[in-house]
Amino acid sequence: MARIHIFGASGSGTTTLAQALSRRLGCPHFDTDAYFWLPTDPPFQQSRKLSTRQLMLLSDLATHDAWALSGSLCGWGDAAIPLFDLAVFLSIPHDIRMARLEDREIERYGVDVARPNGVWSESSAEFLDCAMRYEYGSMVFRSRALHEAWMTNLPCQVLRIEGDTSTDERREIVMGALNNLPRPVSSL
């Protein structure tokens, strides 16, 4: 079984890599946003009750022997930690990550989200501001400091992939790590 958690800053490629691994391993992909946020239009406006998101996450993960889980669950989803075979931390240069996020906001919400004078809509501006502070933020919010501290306590192997590598390169790095885990991993 291959139970992989992929995390990092918004825009670092966690979802893309998890989807690629899911296809390669023939296992489901789960994203923490689907548990954290209630479905709204536009999305990501209202968080789900803590106990509900925890129950949903653990139920889905426990139902499958193999999966790729993307996104940050520090604090709220820590009950899933014992299920991890491998945790993968992604980090890319700040300017590349922020450009990706700006492009994603426009793709997700349309060109009107970024007005011609460079002013973002209120919700996009808040999200981008939060994402911009990732490298230097405190332990209170999703930040590199929080992720660094959190991963030091993980009981599984932690693989760090840093730099602007392609999804294919990242997938193969993870596959190599899975092949070298101390216990057998199925579906390889």
Domain count along the chain: 1
Q: What percent of the chain has pLDDT over 90?
A: 59
pLDDT at 186: 46
- In-domain check, residue 185: no
Contact assessment for residue 128 and residue 102, using Cβ atoms and an 8 Å cutoff: yes
* pTM, rounded to two decimals: 0.85
20-37 pLDDT tens trace: 999 999 999 999 999 999
- In-domain check, residue 184: no
115-160 pLDDT tens trace: 555 555 677 777 777 777 788 766 566 788 889 999 999 999 999 9
Q: Burial letters for 121-150: b for 16+ Cβ neighbours within 10 Å, e otherwise?
A: beebeebbeebbebeebeeeebbbebbeeb
63-92 pLDDT tens trace: 999 999 999 998 899 999 999 999 999 999
pLDDT at 112: 67
- In-domain check, residue 84: yes
* R_g of the chain computed on alpha carbons: 17
Contact assessment for residue 161 and residue 173, using Cβ atoms and an 8 Å cutoff: yes
- In-domain check, residue 61: yes
* Owning domain of residue 162: 3-179
Residue 19: which CATH number?
3.40.50.300
Per-residue tokens: 42: 């536009």
pLDDT at 187: 41
- In-domain check, residue 157: yes
